[in-house]
Amino acid sequence: SGINAEYGEAWKDDDKHASKKAQRKNAEEEKRKAALERKKLAAQLLAEEEETIAAAASSKVPPKKLTQAELNKRKEELEAKKEAESKEKEEPIHENLNRVMTDIEVAQSVEQAIAALDVNDGVDMHPEKRVKAAWTAFEQGRISQLRAENPSLRLSQIRQMLRKEWQKSPLNPLNK
């Protein structure tokens, strides 16, 4: 038996390509068998389902014929149900507030419309924009009066006095 073992080893096929080919052949055979099994299982499930459908179809009782009186009764019940639903859904109609004329100013011209829409009611929203023009008008009107009252003062001193008056003046837009 020792000779047979040596003899078997010597003649052993070590060809890699041949072994891979044999492996592929075995894998393909296994895939084919698995596909055949799946087909058999699907066919069996289909047959069972068809049997259950056939059994259910044969056990169905044909629907009972309705008489004219039963049809009328069903129709009346349906109409009564619809009326009850429509009564539940009815809501009181509210007055259109867009048409109500309370506390609304009516304008006949563009100026009146602007005045009606004017929210600030004469309050100057940006008095700082008019300070320079108001200052020059105040200065021109008042500088000659201060020179007449104080002829010995220099122009810079008169302007200092003007600034102090300007801070308290009602003509200053920032004081309003």
pLDDT in tens, 72-99: 999 999 999 988 887 777 777 777 777 6
Please tell me the predicted confidence (pLDDT) of residue 50: 92
3-state helix, strand, coil in the chain (%, to 5): 70, 0, 30
Side-chain-side CA neighbours of 57 within 13 Å: the count stands at: 6
Mean pLDDT of 42-49: 95
Residue type at position 53 = I
Distance CA 170, CA 15 (A): 116
Please tell me the predicted confidence (pLDDT) of residue 67: 87
The rounded percent of the chain whose pLDDT value lies above 90 is 38
More confident residue, 44 or 8: 44
Would the pLDDT of 29 be above 60? yes
Please tell me the predicted confidence (pLDDT) of residue 123: 63
Classified as helix, coil or strand, 8 is helix
- DSSP-derived letter for residue 54 is H
pLDDT digits (tens, 9 = 90+) for 94-149: 777 776 665 667 778 888 888 777 766 556 667 777 888 889 999 998 999 999 99
Contact 124/144 with Cβ under 8 angstroms? no
Place of tokens 């009346």: 76
100 dihedral zone (left: phi>0; alpha: psi -120 to 50; beta): beta
Our measurement of the distance from residue 72's CA atom to the centroid of its chain's CA atoms, rounded to an integer in Å, reads: 49
DSSP of 97-145: TTT--SS----SSHHHHHHHH-SSTT--S-GGGGHHHHHHHHHHHHHHH
